[in-house]
Amino acid sequence: MTETPKRVRVHHLREAKEAGRRLTMLTAYDAVTARIFDEAGVDMLLVGDSIGNTMHGHTTTLPVTVDDMIPAARAVAGAARRAFVVVDLPFGSYESGPQQALETAVRVMKTTGADAVKFEGGKRSAAQIRAVTAAGIPVVGHLGYTPQSENLLGGPRVQGRGDTAAEALSEDALAVAEAGAVAVVLEMVPAPVSARITEIVAIPTIGIGAGAECDGQVLVWVDMAGMGDWSPRFAKRFGEVGAALRAAATAYVDEVRDGTFPDAEHSFLQ
């Protein structure tokens, strides 16, 4: 793309890939952060089921429900003015087949104002992708380490290592693209494997712990902004917002307790 679109649409994603312009994606779960990221120029906002880990205190994404996702997605979509808003379909809301996936996707789109849905799986999810796409709903795929399958995968482990696994992952990516997905997230995949997948699929690849050759990158925003004491190895901390917020809260507590807040400037005197 030679110009930044006023509103990112499906065709802009493929145009970006063709032009070699890297796409940017961050998670968002509320209107406040969504507006900030949108104004910063982030191309895609992902209302991820990572809300379970980051906002709800769960240890995995598995407890997250569609009812959890809808208010968050509505808030993000309502705040975004430019970004392409993608909503995760949580565990248990699409696995039983195309009809369940379609019903969940329709519900999410009708109640949130989002632009697309995302769900995990390659060949096993191809029929679901076709059904949802046929209904006019854009789908983003998700391959590699898929958090909803972490019990089967043995935890957060790199996927696609070795020739056999790399070939299977490539086949899954082709299946997702051929089924009609508009993009695919590659999570915790060796960089050479991601580079090969990026080369062979026509849709954009969005990497997270998948090397620099993907067509775009995504991070969970609390990792990107340094909100906690720990973040994954692949997640660069671009700021220390958590420390700054803690310092502000501490200063507030101190001033209230010692009586210096509120002062005359922050009071109505008449």
Please enumerate, by residue number, every residue annotated as part of a binding site for 3-methyl-2-oxobutanoate. 49-50, 88, 118
Report the C-alpha gap between 170 and 178 in whole angstroms: 12
Residue ranges with strand state E in 223-267? none
209 touches 188 (CB < 8 A): yes
Q: Is residue 95 annotated as a catalytic residue, yes or no? A: no
225 touches 26 (CB < 8 A): no
- 């940017």: which residue's tokens? 24
Q: Which residues are annotated as a binding site?
A: 49-50, 88, 118, 120
- Which residues share a beta bridge with 185? 142, 206
State the sign of the Cα–Cα–Cα–Cα dihedral 137, 8, 66, 62. Answer: positive
- Which residues share a beta bridge with 183? 140
Report the C-alpha gap between 23 and 88 in whole angstroms: 18
Token pair for residue 100? 């369940």
Q: Phi and psi at residue 27, in whole multiples of 5°?
A: -75, 155
The active-site residue, picked from 171, 187, 240, 265, is: 187
Q: Which residues are annotated as a binding site for Mg(2+)?
A: 49, 88, 120
- Catalytic residue positions, numbered: 187
